[in-house]
Structure 1
């Protein structure tokens, strides 16, 4: 059983940076999960965050041990929910969660739609110039869900796998998208995953159309 800690937050301004809802707090009781996410949770820059395909962000709690070891001087930063996640668990990682997986959580059903795509705002929030790059390189990215069926959820209710719809793990999707040279066969394999987000479908189709991989610098470094 994988019991998730649950977090939500509001958009707030950041001096020298853009407004963000990355700062979240633990929710102890039940909260309603809607098609757009947890009631009371907010997302800034909705072109890139939130929406039906990205209603929830899940980040494995065990990854924080890695980041504390990598950045001992800043170790106090690396505790849930430092990456702005809505859900944090032990035991579920990119290697044993698969694209399209459907989980029952309390009254709700949620489906894995894509890995989280690290962006340059993480560099600012951690004051580490290449934090987004390191997340992408190591594959410690977490993943996103859509809400298949809304309802009440809480940290007292476990995530239970009810359907596995592909043989592509989240870790493998990360590798296909960001670690491998151009590979038409693998892009088509990813496109065939039931439940793949519209954003990732668009990206894979663009690669097939243009015959090249897009530049990551704008997303990772803001330039």
Structure 2
């Protein structure tokens, strides 16, 4: 599995209308090599570190193909829907949540990145596009994109390849994880299997394990 990195984006903090919260969702394309460290790309910042950024959510990848799906669902904002607008760091074509698994390791330039979790769409997407239901649309379609943690620092640039070099959890795709995560009453065994996937963000694993335990307890009452 190998795809081209078509765009690289970083962003400083800017106020997000209408309330003016500081956010890193506004990204600028970068055409020169960018250093990759444990906290992500050089020059990139996040406004709310509780939900974005940090070692487990260092780099956000968003499949460029998803923008056409979103535009088809919400034609009124189609003119805005282009790579970079959802705050991603990397954009390309050929990978999506149905083909990428939890824990997949990719070579990216001279760095090594590991898939850690889906991105959970938040209200900032809605504010960024001026359409209140937009984050819900992203979630309903499963067009979430995902986060990488950085296993090996290095550098990457537009035109470099993302090349799959290891798959510790074959079959446990991000689409499968998202379906279980969003299901009203998922199978506890499925939740437990996903929680144990090598490479999953430990915070996600803990939440899934807790939910599996609750579901089993509820079923046994």
Normalising by structure 1, we get a TM-score of 0.91
Instruction: Give the alignment partner of residue 23 of structure 2, picking from 1, 20, 25.
Output: 20
Partners of 1:58 and 1:200 in 2: CA distance = 18
State the match for 1:182 in structure 2: 186
State the match for 1:10 in structure 2: 12
Q: Secondary structure at the match of 1:132?
A: helix
State the match for 1:221 in structure 2: none
Show CA shifts across 1:142-182 (max 9, x none). Answer: 11110000001111210000001112111111101113523
Q: How many residues are treated as equivalent by the alignment?
A: 212
State the match for 2:219 in structure 1: none
State the match for 1:218 in structure 2: none
Instruction: Give the alignment partner of residue 138 of structure 2, picking from 123, 135, 140.
Output: 135
Structure 2 residue runs of 5 or longer lacking an equivalent are 217-221
Compute the RMSD of aligned alpha carbons: 1.4
Contact 2:180 / 2:190 at 8 angstroms: preserved in 1?
Answer: yes
Shift of 1:79: 0.2
Normalising by structure 2, we get a TM-score of 0.91
Shift of 1:129: 1.6
Q: Secondary structure at the match of 1:206?
A: helix
Shift of 1:71: 2.3
Q: Secondary structure at the match of 1:171?
A: helix
Q: Does 1:118 align with 2:121?
A: yes
Q: Secondary structure at the match of 2:46?
A: coil
Partners of 1:128 and 1:202 in 2: CA distance = 33
Q: Does 1:97 align with 2:100?
A: yes
Partners of 1:55 and 1:101 in 2: CA distance = 15
Q: Secondary structure at the match of 2:155?
A: strand
Structure 1 residue runs of 5 or longer lacking an equivalent are 213-223
Q: Does 1:151 align with 2:154?
A: yes
